[in-house]
Amino acid sequence: MNKAQLVEAVAEQLGGRKAAAEAVDAVLDTMVRAVVAGDRVSVTGFGTFEKVERSARFARNPQTGERVKVKKTSVPRFRPGQGFKDLVSGSKKLPKDGPSVKKAPKGSLTPGKSGVTAATKRAATKRAAAAAEAAPAKKAAAKKATAVKATAAKTTAAKKATTAKTTAAKKATTATKKATTAKTTAAKKTTTAKAAAAKTTAAKKTAPAKKTTTRKTTARKTAAK
């Protein structure tokens, strides 16, 4: 039975291949990580997975018979539980329904002394350390963002103030121009009115003289007759 067949067999019990594949992957991944970390995974009735240290030794090459030095290494080891041995040997009958191995008591699926909980704690500690390392960078980024926003706000306020001053100056200039134009127009009107008044006065003064001349001419003509 390979992994795909194992997933299919589990899917028959769980009722879904996707859920079965995720369950198998999760169990295998948890076991492998725990054993690699040096912990022991023990399942009552099934067996125990653990990491074993092998010291440096000499061995023989099976092809050439040459003596070869083997370095110190670590290997995984599985020791089947008594319930598993009894089922394989036939001393106990395999049940038709239900799990072949009795459910493990609470806490039995535990690698070594600390179990999966220790691995979980280590993972949580690593995540906390990573978060603590990333915290200063996040704070610095937040400060930079705040400074940029403040600078942008100051620049915007300065631009608005400059625009307001420019608008006020333009309005004042326009008002000054209008006032100057009004004064010039009024001065022109006053000058025109004075000139007209002077012409009228001169005309009035000249008119009686003409009448007197006309009377004198008429009188002279009458005397001549």
pLDDT score for 197:
76
Domain count, the chain: 1
**Does 209 map to a domain?**
no
**Does 30 map to a domain?**
yes
**Does 20 map to a domain?**
yes
The answer to whether the beta carbons of residues 148 and 140 sit under 8 Å apart is no
pLDDT tens by residue, 151-203:
777 877 778 877 778 777 788 777 777 877 777 777 777 777 777 777 777 76
pLDDT score for 148:
73
Classify residue 95 by its DSSP letter: P
**Does 111 map to a domain?**
yes
Domain residues for the domain of 52 are 3-130
SS3 (DSSP) at 54: strand
pLDDT in tens, the chain (225 residues): 888 988 888 888 888 888 889 999 999 999 999 999 999 998 888 899 999 998 999 999 889 989 999 899 999 999 998 888 888 888 888 888 777 776 555 554 444 444 445 555 555 666 677 667 766 766 777 777 777 777 777 877 778 877 778 777 788 777 777 877 777 777 777 777 777 777 777 766 665 555 555 565 666 666 665
Biggest CA-to-CA distance, the chain: 186
pLDDT score for 111:
45
Alpha-carbon distance values, 33 to 20, 25, 46, 102 (Å): 20, 12, 19, 25
**Does 43 map to a domain?**
yes
Structure tokens at 208: 């009686």
Q: For Cα atoms 39, 43, 47, give the angle at the middle one, nearest 5 degrees.
A: 90
**Does 158 map to a domain?**
no
CATH code for the domain of 123: 4.10.520.10
**Does 171 map to a domain?**
no
The residue type at 100: S
